Amino acid sequence: MSEAQRTPFVESLLEAAAQAQLPGSGIGWLDAARRENLDAFVAGGLPDTRMEAWKYTALRALGQRRFAAGDAQASTRAIEMDRYALAGIDGPSLVFVNGVFRQDLSRADNLPAGLTLQPLSQVLKGDAEPLRFALSRHYRDGGDVFARLNAVLAGDGVVLRVAANAKIAQTVRLLFVGAPADAALASHVRQVIELGEGAELSLVEQHVATDSHQNLGTQVTDIVLRQGAKLRHVTLQDASDASTLVRHDSLQLDAEAHAAMYALELGGSLVRHDLHAVLAGDKSRLDTGGVFALRGRQHVDTQMSIRHQALNTTSESVWRGVADERSRGVFRGAIVVAEGADGSDASLSSKNLLLSAQAEIDTKPELEIYADEVKAAHGATVGQLDERSLFYLRSRGIPLAEARAMLTAAFCRAVFESLPDEGLREHINERLMAQLPSA
């Protein structure tokens, strides 16, 4: 790597890597994986916008920033847990503050039968062998720079397993709290989630902030659904509006597995979410849905790819975006139907509202089809609220601003209508109403 690429960002993270005393060090394969990813990170640096995956998200400004390695007070900070409570969701939970596991705030005792829920730091102290496959991944694609970083520096995270045929009734909650420290921090969280054959789980992941902070968070998640397993995964991203958050999810579905993945993106200054799903088993099904509602100078970039590579697989994706003020929303939704993946049925819709002359929306639905027994369709729009609907509401005495807010919320809500959990739906609605431009 040339010296020119050794930006303050790269330097500060290299320093962090040199100092890091990560759990699991000494395990040969883990050390090797961390080293190789570090080499790749050093060689590749941060991508620029000439790289297709980062075309609409410039990292130049981030490259000039430095991040401290860790938060010394992370394990003692007082956190008002009530602020982040979700009505009706009081099952098992793991809580992390600035990337550090907090036993005192979590609820991981008396777990229902079949559920394993542990912080990664703890698992790495014992038998790490079951994690070998997930944690020895090398991220070869230059666009996966934050996944590389995460592989090098993640010392904590979530290990969640559901035994075959165990159906977990309670929703499991993962809470990531960001808090301001003396300097901007970088924290890295790694999650490994596996549902055994016929297992069922509902999972809520929350990203919140105690106060405004400029931290960087990276998160890498591997999810595997064995045959017939069912997962519902809802991410509520409400991070600090000055923070940078990069999430990288990989999802594998075996035969007849069914995953429903939802994301609500409200917070963050620079947010990037990669979701790469592979429908690897026959008759597997994936539903994805997401909303970003942005204002200020927020920049949120969602990159989704769904690969159909087995027979009779289905995917349905519904994404909505709202960009106000000077914000920018980016969406890429790629559907790939591999050769021989006959009977694939894929649909994707990306609809967006552009509310301000300074805002921008870039959307790119893609189809890459290599089989002929398929149904694949996508649609994308960028526009405004329907004038006639507005007129209708106003003719019934609803002021313009309120009518706009109502219609915008309804536009977004469509994504979450299929969520069975009413409390969660209500929470989402409230947060949306608070974030969306109103009167």
Partner 1 sequence: MTNAHDDTKNTMTTETTERSDLSATTLRDNAEVAEALGRRYEAGFVTDIETEYLPPGLSEDIVRQLSALKKEPEWMTEWRLKAYRHWLTMPTPDWAKLNLKPIDYQSISYYAAPKSGPKSLDEVDPKLLETYDKLGVPLHERAKLAGVAVDAVFDSVSVGTTFRKELAEAGVIFCSMSEAIREHPELVQKYLGSVVPTGDNFFAALNSAVFSDGSFVFIPKGVRCPMELSTYFRINAINTGQFERTLIVCEDDAYVSYLEGCTAPMRDENQLHAAVVELVALERAQIKYSTVQNWYPGDENGVGGIYNFVTKRGDCRGNDSKISWTQVETGSAITWKYPSCVLRGDRSVGEFYSVALTHHRQQADTGTKMIHIGKGTKSKIVSKGISAGRSSNSYRGLVKVEKGAEGARNYTQCDSLLIGKKCGAHTFPYMEVKNPTAIVEHEATTSKISDDQLFYCRSRGIGEEDAVSMIVDGFCKQVFRELPMEFAVEAKKLLEVSLEGAVG
Enumerate binding residues for partner 1 (CB under 8 A): 52, 56, 339-340, 352, 354-357, 359-384
Kindly report the backbone phi and psi dihedral angles of residue 268, in degrees, each rounded to the nearest multiple of 5, phi listed first: 85, 150
Shortest distance, CB of residue 404 to partner 1, whole angstroms?
A: 12
CB 285 within 8 A of CB 312: no
> Which C-beta is closer to partner 1: that of 158 or that of 323?
323
Shortest distance, CB of residue 54 to partner 1, whole angstroms?
A: 14
C-alpha 115: how far from its chain's center? 22
The enclosing H or E element of 368 equals strand 360-369
Shortest distance, CB of residue 28 to partner 1, whole angstroms?
A: 38
Helical packing angle, 400-413 and 387-395, nearest 10°: 130
CB 127 within 8 A of CB 135: no
Shortest distance, CB of residue 385 to partner 1, whole angstroms?
A: 10
> Which C-beta is closer to partner 1: that of 55 or that of 77?
55
Going by C-alpha positions, the residue among 165, 231, 223, 161 that lies closest to residue 197 is: 165
Shortest distance, CB of residue 318 to partner 1, whole angstroms?
A: 15
> Which C-beta is closer to partner 1: that of 223 or that of 318?
318
- Amino acid type, 428: I
Q: From CA 32, how far away is CA 26, in angstroms rounded?
A: 10
Q: What is the DSSP string of 1-15?
A: --GGG--HHHHHHHH
C-alpha 214: how far from its chain's center? 18
- Amino acid type, 76: T
> Which C-beta is closer to partner 1: that of 297 or that of 431?
297
> Which C-beta is closer to partner 1: that of 165 or that of 356?
356
Q: What is the DSSP string of 246-283?
A: EEEEEEEE-TT-EEEEEEEE---SEEEEEEEEEE-STT
Shortest distance, CB of residue 264 to partner 1, whole angstroms?
A: 22
> Which C-beta is closer to partner 1: that of 87 or that of 377?
377
Q: Is 45 left (phi over 0), alpha (psi -120 to 50) or beta?
A: left
Kindly report the backbone phi and psi dihedral angles of residue 353, in degrees, each rounded to the nearest multiple of 5, phi listed first: -115, 130
> Which C-beta is closer to partner 1: that of 354 or that of 414?
354
**Sign of torsion over alpha carbons 419, 424, 427, 432:** negative
Torsion angle in degrees (nearest 10) through CA of 90, 243, 232, 426: 60
Q: From CA 98, how far away is CA 80, in angstroms rounded?
A: 15
Shortest distance, CB of residue 250 to partner 1, whole angstroms?
A: 23
Q: From CA 8, how far away is CA 6, in angstroms rounded?
A: 7
For β-strands 216-225 and 344-354, DSSP reports them as unpaired
> Which C-beta is closer to partner 1: that of 166 or that of 355?
355
Q: From CA 76, how far away is CA 186, in angstroms rounded?
A: 18
> Which C-beta is closer to partner 1: that of 18 or that of 357?
357
Burial degree of 290 (CB within 10 A; 0-12, 13-18, 19+): buried
Q: From CA 373, how far away is CA 46, in angstroms rounded?
A: 40
> In a 3-state reduction of DSSP, which class is residue 240?
coil
Residue carrying structure tokens 């703890």? 122
> Which C-beta is closer to partner 1: that of 47 or that of 228?
47
Shortest distance, CB of residue 368 to partner 1, whole angstroms?
A: 5
